[in-house]
Amino acid sequence: MTNHYTVLADNPHIEKPLLDDRLYRLVKLKKNDLTVLLISDPTADKSAASLDVGVGSFADKQYGISGLAHFCEHLLFMGTKKYPKENEYSNYLAKHSGHSNAYTAAEHTNYYFLVGSDYLEGALDRFAQFFISPLFSKTCQDREINAVDSENKKNLQNDTWRLFQLDKATSNPLHPYNGFSTGNFETLHEDPLASGLDVRDVLIKFYTQHYSANLMSLVILGKEDLDTLSEWAIQKFSAIPNKDYPRANYNGELIYKPGQLKKLIKAAPIKDDHKLELSFMVPDDMEAHWASKPHRYFSHLLGHESKGSLAYYLKQQGWSTDLSAGGMKVCQGCSLFYIEVQLTPQGLENWEEITKSALEYVKFVAEDEPQSWVWKEIEEMTHINFKFKQKSEASSTVSGLSSKLFKFDGLIPPQHLLSDGVLRQFDPQLIREYGQYLVPENLRVTLVSQSLTGLNKVEKWYKTKYAVEDIQSDLVAPVGVLHDFHYPEENAFIPSDFTVLSLGTAVVAPYVISASNKMNVWFKQDQTFKVPKGSINIALHLPSSNSDVLTSVLTSLSIELFNEEINDVNYYALMVGMRATLQTWRDGFVIKVSGYNDKLDTLLQHVLSELFAFKPSASSFEFIKYKLLNSWKNFLFRDPYLQIGLHMVHLMNEKLYDQEDKIKTLEGVTFEQLQNHFHETIWKQGVFAEVLVHGNFDIAKARSIKNTISNSMKHVKPWMEEYDEKFHLEGYVLEPKETVRYEIQLKDEQNINSCVEYFIQIAPNADDLKLRVLTDLLCTIIKEPCFDQLRTKEQLGYVVFSGIHLGRTSLGFRILVQSERTCDYLQYRIEEFLHSFGNFVNHELTTEDFIKFKHALKNIKLTKLKHLSEETGRLWSSIVDGYYDFEGRTKQVEVLENVTKSEFIDFFNLYISKDDKTAKLITFLRSQNPIEFTESKRLQAAITNYLYHNGVNVDHEYIQELVKSYQEDKNLSRVLDQLHIEIKTGDKQGLFREVSKRLDAPVPDIYPTGELVVTHEQFRSNHKLGGKPRPVSPLTKFLYNDQSHL
């Protein structure tokens, strides 16, 4: 078999993390020059593969069609000669615990999938065919153009996308960076049509001219040995043709011409944000200087937040809320280095002073002798982090590696394919040379605010208003004032003790090593991952902190102020893989400290001592209030699908408040109110703490941590006189048989997308194990058909999601759709889909497929945890949700094994199909600017929906031809007669009646359904709380002195 490939690097010679037990082999297939990395992991419960193609959106310019590479990524999945059914691949993965995805970047396109470890070979066979014999089906062409268009429209109101496109639009028009990479209906349909081009023909030409095996990199990860994986790679991927194309080089042009540098670009955002960005055109050092990466030196220093830094100075002035710095690779050989400053209103007024200060700090770092001790700290942490890196999830592993494999065929020694991020060489000359590019001659400044005037231009694709001006000479002239800038201090948090404690008896659940009416402390020593890391989580239940919307807002503001207070020290910890976070949570707040355990208790002591001695600063109050207020306001301008879940959660749970009410309350908060709240009110009723100590700790260290926490809180009284397990907050539940419609108007007036979250309450209490399993099984079976019907076939929108919904105590199922269509229409189509899916469940779901879905769910439930933080999260959830159900997944699998197909059908019919028995909450997030759909689109939808409803196979190309012919003479009867003959259905009158109705009124009269609710008070006044969580086992079962449960 080795005659079929050349080995570039093999396992003994590939540098790996200390705990990485996977085996690796990097080869090049002799038949077609395909680079392949094989990864054998005998313990894997999930397998994965990824193929990266060395062509991306930068190639669009060659064909004059923006979005062509992205369109190729979409249409490629729609069937192959060997597997012509368009959803064969996704259906296979869905039945075997898998999923797939892809993305298009500037210079490459990445495809990947995940699947149950027993089904890798079948998935590989289907996957390989996309690169051997794709159909690029004409019947799918228009639908995938619509999918791309919908994806683009999803991003139109997103400032990140808008500003990125603006930078590209103002770059060198001869460089492919100056392009529109996503594409839309105009670029992929209207423009080619007007030019007499068939976009599918151009796409096939693009694929033929760029998809060549020598430009591809394949990564396969499975439980099989390396020889078996090698054999599969040869068998299934050797047929990919090698056209021996050279890898594209875009270095012939600079991304900015000289006349496009030293420019000030002013732009208006969608969100009420103020931002200043300094970007320098620099060479790319990722491969040429892979061992030293000089940009890391500047990223570290220019983005530092400790005393003496630019970030610290700007915050002290009240000009900035955040600062970040770093490099962005544009293409091989060319990068940009950014300094991005989030401004306060005062910062906006002083943006010129900020620019001057930033340039002075850059000059200070770039012109000073490179500091070897700074470099040593950065280098040391890259070695430590690599050495103790834990396994990544399989699909992210293969996708990440395939995207960079080309580097190890001549650019970077292949033995470093896993460790290319480790710094190895301090090269002061390279640092000096890199610093010479960080000068005004290579600079562009972007200023972003809604308050800017004189914006006389509009970017073509996102309609961003902007202006371009010359940078005035006095803005970049040296001022020689360093504002007490200096280097950071040496980092005291760098760990030095990496001893992993000897392992005791393996346990599933944590112990309770201390229990009282003031604090429960849970402890579990890591038995699985064997890394020198740990986590300490503390939930402080403080009823006085969240008694009403005012106290809730004051607590949020207090925490933000405190986080700013400790940011200087916390940033040092963050630089070495440690983290301390405080955030509000339900009836109090949560402290989490995690990372290398060597110095973790030191960090915890610092946080606690600062917290209980904290005195809010008047000087920080205004800019932190602004930061929080801005964050809350801007949340309402996020994509609708990112908002809608929080709106529902706030409605359904006690002690959570409407976002608009919180904003209004915060606007009126004074510093005096805040002082009184933090010093007195917040602690008034006392505290109860839940603590988890997890990781590389022994019981002695856990007790020491418990004492640290206890001593820090000794002046605060306990909240409960006697410990009561039922102290958790509750959620509201729906009444049987009711339908509630909760409507919110989208704040962003220009966003054309609406969103619906369709929630069916299965049970008001989630502790019914069988109902939980049946709901999970429903989610497994319905996921692919839901996506296929509502997104792929009906083209409702780019975002379609279905899954389980767990409230504080309730259990339910939800479907979420974001679309340009109205909320009423989305509800109609969701309910039609559930109706048709009910027919599938009752009449078409085979026993064989049902067993496959059960097995897929079992694999998901038993998926192994990949790293320590995953286990911490799972343990913590089981503690703070009040159920103490540490073996829930194992018990669910036991129940799942005995679920029959008839039980599942009965469950579906009772809880999903019976409209008169189910309880539903349908949340509408309505656009203020909905699109009016053309008559042709309405007719196409009416015909398509009728056929789907009646179980008739839909030929999309044929329907499109019918609609075109209707536009010529507007003779609906003729069109429907022709359709009736084609589909051979007997119900001619039904066809005419339904299509005619839906052409005039796309939504039936009964929609929208449900009792309308528009405020929290309106909903809560008519609904009851669902009760406290009921622990699966009493706390006493987990006490350390009683180990019978372990």
46-53/443-448 β-pairing: unpaired
Q: Are 447 and 264 in contact (CB under 8 A)?
A: yes
Q: Which amino acid is at 336?
A: L
Euclidean distance between CA atoms 710 and 614, whole angstroms? 18
The per-residue DSSP string of 692-706 comes to EEEES--HHHHHHHH
Q: Determine how β-strand 754-763 pairs with β-strand 1011-1013.
A: unpaired
Please report which residue ranges of 29-87 form alpha helices under DSSP H: 60-63, 68-75
SS3 state at 343: strand
* Separation between Cα atoms, residue 492 and residue 599, nearest integer Å: 9
67: left (phi over 0), alpha (psi -120 to 50) or beta: left
Q: How far is CA 272 from CA 278, 318, 353, 446, 643, in A?
A: 20, 18, 22, 16, 17
For residues 510 and 496, what is the distance between their CA atoms, to the nearest angstrom? 28
Catalytic, 994? Answer: no
Which is the catalytic residue, given 73, 287, 379, 784?
A: 73
Q: 10 Å Cβ neighbour count for 190? A: 12
526, 696 in Cβ contact below 8 A?
yes
Left, alpha or beta for 196 (phi > 0: left; psi -120 to 50: alpha)? Answer: left
Compute how many other C-beta atoms are within 10 angstroms of the C-beta atom of residue 970.
9
Evaluate the CA torsion angle 856, 858, 859, 865 in order and state its sign. Answer: positive
Q: Which residues of 847-859 are buried (b: 16+ CB within 10 A; e: fewer)?
A: eeebebbbbbbbb
For residue 437, what are the contacts with CB-CB under 8 A and spacing of at least 6?
280, 281, 282, 283, 337
Cβ neighbours of residue 672 closer than 8 Å, sequence gap 6 or more: none
CA-to-CA distance for 425 and 290, rounded, in angstroms? Answer: 9
Q: How far is CA 926 from CA 56, 283, 829, 1026, in A?
A: 35, 46, 16, 29
Amino acid at 476: V
Can you tell me the distance from the alpha carbon of 800 to that of 787, in angstroms, rounded to the nearest whole number? 6
Per DSSP, the residues of 290-301 read: TTT-HHHHHHHH
* Collapsed DSSP state (helix, strand, coil) of residue 342: strand
Query: Closest Cα to residue 48, out of 1032, 1013, 960, 866?
Result: 866
Phi, psi of 277, deg, nearest 5: -130, 130
H/E stretch holding 522: strand 519-525
Instruction: For residue 833, give the nearest of 787, 879, 774 by alpha carbon.
Output: 787
Secondary structure tally for the chain: helices H, strands E: 37, 26
410 phi and psi, to 5 degrees? 120, -20
Region label for 307, one of left (φ > 0), alpha (ψ between -120 and 50) or beta (otherwise): beta
My answer on whether omega of the bond before 1008 falls inside 30° of 0, hence cis, is yes
From CA 622, how far away is CA 560, in angstroms rounded? 12
Active site residues per annotation:
73
